[in-house]
A and B are shown apart, each in its own frame.
Chain A
């Protein structure tokens, strides 16, 4: 158990809908990262938050957004969903970011039908 909790584990929704994925980092970790793993693209970095503020953006679509709350949990919002958004979405946390070790949640499997 990495200590990072993601909910829900599975999500099935229709095209055009909006969903919210939730991540609770390990106790004491200030940095939260979101990653997408799809069959064709592999694992890709989406966005990082550090202590409530956006720190870095990767390959995140404009239809996607995220935030980190004062209690340090984070949410990834995916809107206007398309079939191609079906993927595993992982959250990871680390103490401060940089070169510190990251711990991964179990992922949320999103299926868009």
Chain B
């Protein structure tokens, strides 16, 4: 069972809508990453969070450590936001520094 769960798997919305993508994880983490992957395949790191909230332009990421839950919000969505959004968790214990990934949310913003 994947330790990082994302919802929804697929999301289609109209331009201008407020978008929310959710991520839940089952173990303690030291950081949670939100990544964006465009159809060409390249991955861009959007945020790295260990607490609270971060904002960059129209993107906002929040994390609730107690509830083991994070959300990525997109305000005033635009067709260029169409991509796969992936959350990834880094464990808080010793051992691998690598990330554990969610399956991704495929977002389509229609004009």
Contact = CB atoms under 8 A, between A and B. Distances in A.
B21 to A, nearest CB: 16
B111 interface: no
Majority secondary structure, B binding face: strand
Contacts of A55: 97
Interface residues of A, number: 30
B97 to A, nearest CB: 5
Contacts of A107: 41-43
A106 B98 contact: no
20 contacts: A2-B44, A2-B45, A33-B97, A33-B99, A42-B101, A43-B86, A43-B99, A45-B98, A45-B100, A46-B98, A55-B97, A56-B96, A58-B96, A90-B43, A92-B43, A98-B90, A98-B97, A100-B48, A107-B43, A109-B41
Interface of A: 2, 31, 33, 35, 42-48, 50, 55-58, 88, 90, 92, 97-104, 106-107, 109
